[in-house]
């Protein structure tokens, strides 16, 4: 069975990538299972999607503990434990494909991985939609597994993106084709692995739950303001940074307009951004009349923080 | 009515009550309005929330509120508010809750609930003169389920259920007018990009009792298809073009609180959003653009005839 896991952020097209790859496998005569996995979070939050393909009925379900191929659309997810465990379960025979401008060897060293690491050069400006790289990633995956033809890939893209305007579809076909070609050297490097028995699986031991009155059974939160434990700062790919020299301390403006209420002034009136929760929408950058807020890539900001 | 404490922008609250860490999209115009509203209403509030994006504010065990929040079915938030109001009244009457600790009951729903599915429950609540504040964040579609058309979807917009070359064929329902026809205590439109206008209206609404509606236009990067960074500019264009009039109803009179003269052509607002792109490409739909502009012009011809 082929096992492929796509990681990205909501809006980058990983769900679509899994559907395209799934449909392409299907066209090649495989049994297929593809499923996205995300919570209530929205665009920008880490998500993943899985594809299983085999020539026999697929009995495995749920998340994918031992993928043969992992594709990461957004490198900022890598250092993140909450990113859904991007690297989890990657054995020596697995392949990691990163959509990144940094080269594969550097990543291999940084991440200290034994498995094969490949990169797909970063192309965020594509017309498939802002930061949408679903077709691109599906195209690369199709070539890496080695048994999906270009025709099956294109047919799958036409099918999955049927609702898109013609020029968007065309752009996605081009992108996917380029990724398919770029992976030519590595075609077929992803291996099939046998169906694994669920570790320690035992027969279900059903327990009957008696009906409880609402005061016992309904979820009930007694703590106030508990949402601040959720670090939505991890959604950010760009970080707003305030220049205190330029800032005129009109904090009621950026402080009111920040959708997430992540800006409040300190005693002297200088606004301070709560990076634990700022989602990086950059509304503040757009509204600041003094142009005192600039945006820098989150990865760069973290590197600067790490080195004194 | 007493004077406002919000005389200039610098009077706006600087520390914020709504917690971060919510699941709303980056750049959500609804959340922008809600956090400002919460700052003015304060913590003596209980929110009754119908199914919609904002249901995700409080996902067990997390909540951004400092007080209570109750989840109801999509059509029933005003009925839920009735139950909460009744319970508070009983507690106050029995002396188990001091009157000065009484809470403001706030219904919070999207447009799908407010304009459509929940309108019957709203009508009943107004008939019973329920003392509640209804906040509708209007993202002009069923956002939480993938932006299908709702009765608030504007003419010409693409939605998940209006994908044809001319977009949504209907016209946005006039919820402000429906409420006003019932002669409630207060009705106002607000938007997060006009925080001072918003604060004054919430301040006013909070002091009144009876049925009150705050209708907040909620620019929605996900459903309207624009970059989150554009959210404020799109909100401002909604006001500048006159497509979203800022107004209030009080004591039998409708007053416009911001009147732009001259108005920016509505095309600038439409062009900035992916959901209207089909009106410009591959070919320009002058017929649809004219129909939208004509509606805006007719509205202002009625309310501001000299301009
Ligand atoms: C009776 C009923 N029908 C359908 C749904 C599914 N549903 C959940 S949220 C939602 C959309 C609500 O739209 P709106 O009120 O505009 O809020 P938004 O999602 O845009 O914030 C729908 C249709 C439901 N919860 N209840
Ligand atoms: S809007 Fe700009 S100038 Fe004003 S306080 Fe915020 S960062 Fe400073
Ligand atoms: S980018 Fe700016 S406006 Fe957006 S959440 Fe962060 S601080 Fe708030
Ligand atoms: S879909 Fe729209 S209204 Fe809903 S959370 Fe996202 S931006 Fe806000
Ligand atoms: Mg809605």
Q: What is the pLDDT of residue A80?
A: 66
What are residue A9's DSSP bridge partners? Answer: A46
Q: How many CB atoms lie within 10 A of CB A285?
A: 19
Kindly identify which residue of chain A lies nearest to residue B12, measuring between CA atoms: A252
Distance CA B253, CA A58 (A): 67
* Rg of chain B over all Cα atoms, to the nearest angstrom: 19
pLDDT range class, residue B133, cuts 50, 70, 90? very high
Provide, as residue numbers in chain B, all residues whose Cβ is less than 8 Å from the Cβ of A226: 19, 61-63
Task: Choose one of A251, A279, A285, A287 to mutate for the ligand 3 pocket test, by most ligand atoms within 8 angstroms of C-beta.
Answer: A279
B30 touches ligand 4 (CB under 6 Å): yes
Helix or strand or coil: residue B137?
strand
Does residue A138 surpass a pLDDT of 50? yes
Candidate from B64, B193, B278 with C-beta closest to A257: B193
CA–centroid distance, residue B174 to ligand 5 (Å): 15
Q: What pLDDT, on a 0 to 100 scale, did the predictor assign at position A128? A: 44
- Residue A286 DSSP SS3: helix
Of A11, A229, A283, the CB nearest to B229: A283
pLDDT at A43: 77
> How close B217 gets to chain A, by Cα (Å)?
14
Per-residue pLDDT band at A81 (split at 50, 70, 90): low
Residue A131 has pLDDT above 80, yes or no: no
Q: What is the mean pLDDT of residues B125-147?
A: 97
At A82 the pLDDT is 44
The H or E element containing residue B272 is none
Query: Average pLDDT in the A273-280 region?
Result: 97
Residue closest via CA to ligand 3's atom 4 equals: A281
Residues 6+ apart with CB under 8 A from B194: B235, B239, B246, B258
Q: Which ligand is nearest to the CA of B110?
A: 1
Mean pLDDT computed over B7-32: 96
Scanning every residue of chain B, which has its alpha carbon at the shortest distance from the alpha carbon of A236?
B26
Tell me how long chain A is. 308
CA distance A103 to B61: 41
Q: Cβ separation of B20 and A262 shorter than 8 Å?
A: yes
- pLDDT tier at B307, thresholds 50, 70, 90: low
pLDDT digits (tens, 9 = 90+) for A225-269: 999 999 999 999 899 999 999 999 999 999 999 999 999 999 899
| Separation of alpha carbons A211 and B181, rounded Å | 46
What are the pLDDT digits (tens) for B157-182? 999 999 999 999 999 999 999 999 99
**Cα atoms in the Cβ-side hemisphere of radius 13 Å centred on A192:** 10
Q: Which of B26, B64, B192 to mutate to test the pocket of ligand 3 (most atoms within 8 A of CB)?
A: B26
Please name each of the domains of chain A with its CATH number: 2-186 (3.40.920.10), 232-306 (3.30.70.20)
Q: What is the A126 CA–ligand 5 centroid distance (Å)?
A: 30
| Residue whose entry in the numeric block shows the structure tokens 């003419």 | B155
Asked if A285's CB is within 8 angstroms of B229's CB, the reply is yes
Instruction: Say whether B16 and A276 touch across the interface (CB within 8 A).
Output: no
SS3 B267: helix
Q: Does the pLDDT at position A198 exceed 90?
A: no
Report the C-alpha gap between B60 and B248 in whole angstroms: 36
Instruction: Render pLDDT for A44-54 as a digit per residue (tens, 0 to 9).
Output: 788 999 999 99
Q: In chain A, at which residue ranges do the beta strands (DSSP E only) sit?
A: 2-9, 31-37, 46-54, 69-72, 95-99, 116-120, 238-242, 263-265, 271-273, 293-297
CATH number of B9-303: 3.40.50.970
Closest-CA distance, A155 to chain B, in angstroms, reads 22
Q: H-type helices in chain A, by residue range?
A: 14-27, 104-111, 134-145, 150-160, 166-182, 214-217, 251-257, 283-287, 298-306
Residue pair A18/A142 in contact by the 8 Å Cβ criterion: no
A31, A57 Cβ separation under 8 angstroms: yes
Please report how the helices B119-127 and B77-93 are oriented relative to each other, as an axis angle in degrees rounded to 10. Answer: 30
Ligand nearest the Cα atom of residue A239: 3
B45-92 pLDDT, tens digit each? 999 999 999 999 998 889 999 999 999 999 999 999 999 999 999 999
When pLDDT is averaged across residues A13-34 and rounded to a whole number, the result is: 97
Predicted-assembly ipTM surpassing the 0.95 threshold: yes
**DSSP for residue B64:** S
Out of A100-109, B51-60, B189-198, the most confident range is: B189-198
Report yes or no: A259 and B231 within 8 Å, Cβ to Cβ: yes
Quote the CA–CA distance of B262 and B43 in Å, as a whole number.
40
The pLDDT-based confidence of A127 (bands split at 50, 70, 90) is very low
Mean of the pLDDT values across residues B298-305?
94
In the reported structure, the alpha carbon of residue B207 is separated from the centroid of ligand 5 by a whole-number distance in angstroms of 27
Contact criterion met (CB below 8 Å) for B233 and A286? yes
Quote the DSSP letter at residue B217.
Answer: E
Instruction: Please state, for a pLDDT cut of 70, what percent of chain A lies above it.
Output: 94
Ramachandran sector of residue B140 (left: φ over 0; alpha: ψ -120 to 50; beta: rest): left
* Pick from A102-106, A193-197, A200-204: least confident: A200-204
Work out the average pLDDT over B256-276. 97
- Backbone CA torsion sign across A144, A145, A151, A154: negative
Q: Name the residue ranges covered by the structural domains of chain B.
A: 9-303
Task: Determine, for residues B14 and A264 on separate chains, whether the beta-carbon distance falls below 8 Å.
Answer: yes
């Amino acid at each position: 069975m082929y096992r492929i896991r796509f990681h990205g952020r909501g809006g980058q097209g990983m769900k679509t990538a899994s559907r395209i790859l799934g449909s392409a496998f299907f066209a090649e005569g495989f049994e297929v299972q593809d499923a996205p996995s995300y919570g209530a979070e929205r665009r920008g939050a880490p998500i993943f999607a899985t594809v299983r393909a085999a020539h026999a009925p697929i009995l495995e379900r749920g998340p994918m503990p031992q993928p043969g191929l992992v594709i990461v659309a957004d490198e900022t997810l890598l250092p993140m434990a909450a990113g859904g465990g991007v690297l989890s379960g990657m054995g020596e025979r697995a392949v990691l494909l990163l959509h990144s401008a940094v080269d594969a060897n550097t990543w291999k060293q940084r991440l200290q991985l034994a498995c094969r690491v490949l990169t797909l050069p970063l192309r965020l400006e594509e017309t498939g939609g802002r930061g949408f790289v679903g077709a691109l990633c599906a195209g690369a995956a199709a070539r890496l597994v080695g048994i999906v033809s270009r025709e099956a890939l294109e047919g799958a893209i036409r099918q999955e993106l049927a609702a898109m305007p013609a020029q968007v579809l065309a752009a996605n076909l081009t992108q996917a084709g380029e990724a398919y070609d770029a992976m030519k050297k590595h075609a077929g490097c992803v291996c099939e692995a046998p169906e694994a028995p669920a570790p320690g699986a035992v027969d279900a031991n059903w327990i009957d739950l008696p009906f409880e009155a609402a005061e016992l059974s309904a979820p009930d939160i007694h703590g106030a303001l508990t949402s601040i434990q959720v670090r939505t700062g991890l959604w950010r790919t760009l970080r707003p940074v305030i220049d205190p020299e330029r800032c005129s301390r009109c904090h009621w403006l950026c402080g009111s307009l920040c959708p997430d209420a992540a800006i409040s002034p300190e005693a002297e009136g200088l606004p301070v951004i709560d990076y634990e929760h700022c989602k990086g929408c950059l509304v503040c950058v757009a509204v600041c009349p003094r142009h005192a807020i600039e945006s820098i890539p989150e990865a760069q900001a973290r590197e600067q923080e790490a080195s004194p | 009515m007493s004077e406002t404490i919000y005389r200039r922008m610098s009077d706006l609250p600087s520390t914020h009550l709504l917690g971060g860490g919510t699941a709303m999209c980056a750049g959500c115009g609804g959340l922008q309005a809600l956090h400002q509203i919460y700052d003015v209403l304060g913590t003596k509030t209980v929110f009754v929330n119908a199914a919609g994006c904002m249901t995700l504010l409080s996902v067990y065990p997390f909540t951004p509120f400092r007080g209570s929040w109750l989840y109801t079915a999509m059509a029933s938030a005003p009925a839920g508010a009735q139950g909460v109001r009744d319970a508070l009244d009983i507690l106050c009457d029995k002396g188990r809750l001091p009157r000065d600790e009484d809470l403001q009951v706030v219904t919070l729903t999207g447009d799908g609930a407010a304009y459509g599915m929940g309108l019957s429950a709203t009508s009943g609540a107004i008939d019973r003169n329920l003392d509640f504040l209804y906040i509708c964040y209007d993202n002009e579609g069923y956002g939480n389920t993938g932006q299908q058309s709702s009765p608030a979807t504007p003419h010409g917009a693409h939605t998940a259920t209006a994908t044809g070359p001319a977009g949504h064929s209907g016209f946005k329902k006039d919820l402000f007018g429906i409420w006003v026809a019932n002669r409630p205590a207060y009705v106002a439109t607000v938007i997060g990009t006009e925080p001072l206008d918003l604060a004054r209206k919430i301040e006013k609404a909070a002091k009144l009792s009876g049925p009150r509606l705050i209708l907040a236009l909620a620019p929605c990067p996900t459903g309207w298809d624009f970059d989150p960074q554009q959210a404020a500019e799109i909100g401002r264009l909604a006001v500048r073009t006159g497509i979203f009039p800022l107004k209030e109803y009080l004591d039998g009179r409708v007053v416009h609180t911001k009147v732009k003269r001259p108005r920016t052509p509505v095309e600038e607002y439409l062009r900035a959003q992916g959901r209207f792109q089909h009106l410009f490409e591959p070919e320009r739909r002058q017929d649809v653009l004219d129909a939208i502009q004509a509606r805006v012009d007719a509205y202002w011809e009625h309310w501001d005839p000299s301009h």
